Amino acid sequence: MTARTPLPSPLRAPLAALALGLAAAAPAAAQTNLRAWNADGQVWLVWQDDRTFTSNEAYEVYQSPAPIADVTTAARVGRLLPPDWQQPRIRAAAPGATWTIPDGLGGTYTLAPDEALFVATPHLAGPRHYAVVKSGETLPPAGAAAGPVTPTLETPRPHVQLTGVDAGHPYTVHALWVDGRADLDSGRPGFPVMAGEHFNGLGHVFAVFEPPSPPPPGPLPVVSYLHGGQGSFWGNRPSNGPDARLELGLDDGLYVTFDDSHWIYVGAPVDAPLRLPSRWYGYAEGLDRFRDVTPPPADGTRVLDYTQRRLDWVLDWLVATHGADPSRQAIAGLSMGGRGSWLYARTRADRVSACLSFVQAGAMTDQLVSGFFGTVAQNLPTVHGVGLAELFDPATLVPAAGDVPFTRFVDGTEDTSAEWGPKPAVYAVLEAARAGVHAYWDDREHVGGNGGWDGAHWVGSPRHGAPSLTRFRSDVSFPAISAFDNDPFAPGPQPDPGDPVVPANGDPFGTRGGYVDWDVDSVLDLDGTWSVELGLVNASPFANDVSPTALARVDVTIRRASRFRPAPLEPLLWRLADPATGATLRSGRTAADAAGVVTVPGVVLELGAQRLEVLRALRAPSAAAAPGTVVVR
């Protein structure tokens, strides 16, 4: 199929901040010129659109093994609201852009402005026919039926929409058309279900930004960035970083931005589709986006992790096709994306290497469109063994997911959107759990693009940029810091975020754990010995990262150990040594807890590097555990 000159478009649908108004169209005849073909494991349907849509009216797509003269004899495989085919997702990066799809002949086809698109993912081979009607109709107009098409069942793939260079980073915007089914486990091999049945065939976009110059050889680290509730994948591109007071883009790996947009019908008084996000998680099982989403689902309805499954698949695809390192896949985000990144880090703990969460919201609150998630009181079940209201609470860990990755929180005491009030309590719970979260706070507001972060204490720290995440690995253990006290001789922990109240009543800025750093390449993880070089930060291009005191007392918990696995309650020895001379600075005894987790309590750290060694008490230290040893993985 070859591209043709686009026809004048009868549809112009501007996207407002929340609502997408349906624009007026030319006098309707009928959708015509339906074409259908197979390519890359999916069936692509394109037709000329000249219908008028209001309220929740939609196109409906049907398939059958026989020609379709009446859709009551066929199976409906999908429905489309106007924004589904009008490409507002990719138009965030290129106004006026339309979908580009494979043409079935080895090339591509770019839709004209007045053409609509549906993408089916068949599960069975064999020829089939298709028809498209407007909702409420049963007889396809002339030119609105096509076939037969005989699908092939190779694994679908994303398709390039746009390419360019942003702030020196070559980028590619891809679209992935998902398979939506009622049965979450019914996907094709290599292509799982990533949407509910009423979201079938929809295109989702993501952008991959490459390094400005050729990266070093070897698998590439990946940092994925999740946008806020009013944002898009394009808002967090590298060139937008300075305006947002964020460091975005990587010089040594792949920087990926995703989009979380769904168009859902909302009834009176709106009576139109709205752009609603899944909060980077998913939505209620069986959610019909063509019915009013305001009423909550029935008690006990599961909320399924459709969006997280889509992120899983794309990240695996980057490993298979772009040389991405499966052990260095970090995630970050702001606002809704800050919650989403921490949510993903907790539920996908085995795959995430590190997490950076800016100004994330606290516990779940009731939404005006509660059909998406239910209400707080319903606390609908999820596939992760806890209710959604619990899962949305940043203080909730998911025991079945294992140790969470090393994580940094950055919050603002002047934030009135993701309100400061509950943050100190969240910090306290995660410290008590010895999770390994470094919490930072200062007087920033919710976002930095309007000057709300100007002058805030931590703005400009390289530790809060995407590049800071690439050194961490999901297959290497790390020292989780808790009970941090920057002044062991003063009463109470220092610094102190204060009580969970507004206005804040603690120190105006500070960090729980952030003045401690370690050498990832120094981690030694053996059957009888675990060690790491760590200490208080004594040098940084950003002065506020340097510890303001020469001593700090901390508890150090061993997380993500692969070989050092003492038995529950097993006694252990530890020592803190000078890595240059091997001289012991401090030493003591500890023991694994009832779950086998090892914490060395009350370690007094100094500026610069010290080597912390933990030994199984009944085993002699191996030669490999000599002070100063650097492990080559």
Tokens at 180, concatenated: 């939506």
Confidence of residue 4 (pLDDT cuts 50, 70, 90): very low
Confidence of residue 230 (pLDDT cuts 50, 70, 90): confident
pLDDT of 26 above 90: no
Contact predicate 203/233, CB 8 Å? no
Distance CA 128, CA 497 (A): 63
Percent of the chain at pLDDT above 70? 93
- The terminus-to-terminus CA distance of the chain in angstroms comes to 51
pLDDT of 619 above 60: no
HSE of 275, CA atoms in CB hemisphere, 13 A = 22
DSSP 8-state symbol, 227 = -
Distance CA 281, CA 260 (A): 9
Where would I find the H helices in 324-483? 336-347, 388-391, 423-432
Determine if residue 113 is left, alpha or beta; phi over 0 gives left, psi from -120 to 50 gives alpha, anything else beta. alpha
Q: Which residue has the higher pLDDT, 46 or 402?
A: 46
Beta partners for residue 162, in sequence order: 173
C-alpha torsion 483→465→261→405, nearest 10: -40
Instruction: Indicate the pTM of the whole model.
Output: 0.91
- pLDDT for residue 450: 85
- pLDDT for residue 214: 86
The overall average pLDDT reported for the chain is 91
Rounded to 5 degrees, φ, ψ at 319 are -65, -45
pLDDT of 82 above 90: yes
Distance CA 361, CA 423 (A): 9
Report, as an integer, the average pLDDT of 152-172: 96
Distance CA 114, CA 311 (A): 31
- pLDDT for residue 618: 63
Report, as an integer, the average pLDDT of 458-465: 96
Distance CA 218, CA 226 (A): 26
pLDDT (tens digit per residue) in 233-279: 999 999 999 999 999 999 999 999 999 999 999 999 999 999 999 99
Q: Cα dihedral sign for 357, 359, 361, 362?
A: positive
Confidence of residue 399 (pLDDT cuts 50, 70, 90): confident
Residues 517-545 as b or e (16 or more Cβ within 10 Å = b): bbebebbbbbebbbbbbbbbbeeeeeebb
Report, as an integer, the average pLDDT of 146-150: 95
Confidence of residue 3 (pLDDT cuts 50, 70, 90): very low
Contact predicate 339/363, CB 8 Å? no
- Structural domains in the chain plus CATH codes: 32-154 (2.60.40), 514-633 (2.60.40)
Contact predicate 531/573, CB 8 Å? no
Residue of 217, 225, 239, 199 whose CA lies nearest to 93: 239
- pLDDT for residue 32: 80
pLDDT (tens digit per residue) in 466-501: 999 999 999 999 999 999 999 888 888 899 999 999
Cα 387 to Cα 345, 367, 381, 422, distances in angstroms: 17, 16, 4, 19
Number of Cβ within 10 Å of residue 142's Cβ equals 9
- pLDDT for residue 422: 95
What are the DSSP E strand ranges found in 506-550? Answer: 510-512, 516-518, 524-525, 529-536
Q: Is the peptide bond before 295 cis (omega within 30 degrees of 0)?
A: no
pLDDT of 346 above 90: yes
pLDDT (tens digit per residue) in 299-335: 999 999 999 999 999 999 999 999 999 999 999 999 9
Confidence of residue 11 (pLDDT cuts 50, 70, 90): very low
Contact predicate 184/273, CB 8 Å? no
Distance CA 360, CA 409 (A): 8
Percent of the chain at pLDDT above 90? 86
- pLDDT for residue 626: 38
- pLDDT for residue 216: 79
HSE of 465, CA atoms in CB hemisphere, 13 A = 18
Confidence of residue 367 (pLDDT cuts 50, 70, 90): confident
Tokens at 565, concatenated: 């696995």
Contact predicate 232/261, CB 8 Å? yes
